[in-house]
Amino acid sequence: MNINNIQTEPQITIAPNLQIFSSVQKLMGNRFEISVVSEDEKWANARIASAISEIRRIEQLLTTFDPKSQTNQINAQAGIQPVKVDIEVFELIQRSLRISNLTQGAFDITYGSIDKSLWNFDVKMTTLPEVETAKEMVKLIDYQKVILNHNDCSVFLKDLGMRIGFGGIGKGYAAEQAKQMLFREGVKNGVVNASGDLTTWGTQPNGKPWTIGIADPNHKNKTFSSINISNMAVATSGDYEKFVMIKGKRYSHTINPKTGLPVSGIKSVTIIAPNAELADSLATPVTVMGVRVGLDLINQIKGIGCVIIDDNDKMFTSKNINIQ
C-alpha cells in the first residue's frame, strides 16, 4: 500500500549494531508496547521507563476511575461550577471540541453520560434499545455545552449529569506525548503502539521504514495489507472486537452520539495522520459518519489518509492512498 503526499522525512543512515528494545505494559486499560532502536540496551530501557512514566502521568489526569482525576472533578461539578485544570487538559479538551466541530458532532467527549447498561456488548444482545429511550439518554451529549474559560483555565459542563471522557482521543494523546518525550531524550527511531494505535518515527535498524499492518476485519489476528511508513501515526476503529448480530444485521459497539444507537455498515476504519492523537480522534467519527460522508471529510483534510472496510468487505480509500 502506498500513501502519496504523506511521506515526511528523508531516510537516515543507520549504524550496523542497532537493535529494537521493547517493553509491553498495561496502561490506561490498554496494551502499550514501546519500542526503541539503540545500540545500548541499558540506555534504551531507561528511555522506555521515562515514556511509561509519562503515560501513567497522563492516565492520572484523564481517567474516570479515580475520583481525584481532573476529568472526574469536571464531571462532579457539571451544572454547578467551573473547574480549574492543568493547561494540557484544557488544551486537549479544546482540540477535542475542534474535532467535534469538524465532524459535526460525530466525535463528542460528552458521551460519558450514556448509560452503558443499555448497550452491553459483552453479552448476547437480541434487540436494540427503544429509539425514544436512546434519544432520552443522549440529551446530555452536547459538546457545545462544554464552556472553556481561557482566563482562568477552567472547564464547565453546563448541565447537571453531563460527563466527559477521553476514550476516543486519550490513548492517541498519550502515545503521542510518549513519542515526543522519547524524541527529546535522543531516541531517533521508535514506535509507540497503544493497542493498535501506532505512532512511528525514524526507521527500523536496517534503515527501512516501519511496516504497519492493517487488521483484516474478519480475522483480527491477520492483516489484509501493510503500509511502509515512518514519522506518521495509524489508528483503527473496528467492530471485529465487539459487535452483535440483530435480525441478520451487524451492529458495532460504537455508538452514534446523536441517536444513542449502535452504528452499522462499517467493519473498520483506519486513519493515517501526522500524529497519534489526530488519528485516534478521527477513526471513530468516520465510522459514525459512514463511508461516503466520512471519506468526503478525510479528502478535505491535507495529510490525512483513510481506509474503510464496509460490512460487505468492500474497501474504500481516500484519494491519496493507492492499494497495490
Answer yes or no: is pLDDT of 22 > 60. Answer: yes
Q: What is the mean pLDDT of residues 245-260?
A: 78
- Grid cell locating 174: 498519550
Average pLDDT for the chain: 87
Write out the CATH class of domain 70-157. Answer: mainly alpha
Asked whether the beta carbons of 257 and 108 are under 8 A apart, the reply is: yes
Q: What is the mean pLDDT of residues 271-276?
A: 94
- pLDDT at res. 10: 43
Percentage of the chain lying above the pLDDT 90 cut: 65
The 3-state DSSP class for residue 228 equals strand
Answer yes or no: is pLDDT of 105 > 70. Answer: yes
pLDDT tens for 154-169 read 999 999 999 999 999 9
Bigger pLDDT: 252 vs 180: 180
Q: What is the mean pLDDT of residues 9-21?
A: 67
Answer yes or no: is pLDDT of 324 > 60. Answer: no
How many Cβ atoms are within 10 Å of 147's Cβ, its own excluded?
Answer: 11
- Name residue 321's beta-bridge partners: 3
- Name residue 235's beta-bridge partners: 271
Bigger pLDDT: 178 vs 258: 178
Radius of gyration of the chain (CA): 20
- pLDDT at res. 322: 67
- pLDDT at res. 271: 95
pLDDT-based confidence at residue 208 (cuts at 50, 70, 90): very high
Residue 180 sits at the vertex; the CA angle it makes with 170 and 317, to the nearest 5 degrees, is 60
Q: What is the mean pLDDT of residues 12-22?
A: 76
Name the residue among 60, 71, 261 with its Cα closest to residue 164. Answer: 71
pTM: predicted TM-score of the whole model, two decimal places: 0.88
Sketch the domain layout of the chain as residue ranges.
16-62+169-322, 70-157
- Grid cell locating 201: 518515527
Answer yes or no: is pLDDT of 196 > 90. Answer: no
How many Cα atoms within 13 Å fall on the side-chain side of residue 89?
25
Q: How far apart are CA 145 and CA 74, in angstroms?
A: 13
Q: How far apart are the first and last CA of the chain?
A: 5
Answer yes or no: is pLDDT of 92 > 80. Answer: yes
pLDDT-based confidence at residue 98 (cuts at 50, 70, 90): very high
pLDDT tens for 36-91 read 999 999 999 999 999 999 999 999 999 999 999 999 999 999 999 999 999 999 99
Beta-carbon contacts of 5 under 8 Å, excluding residues fewer than 6 positions away, are 303, 320
Fold (CATH) for 16-62+169-322: T-fold (3.10.520)
- pLDDT at res. 5: 46
Q: What is the mean pLDDT of residues 219-242?
A: 77
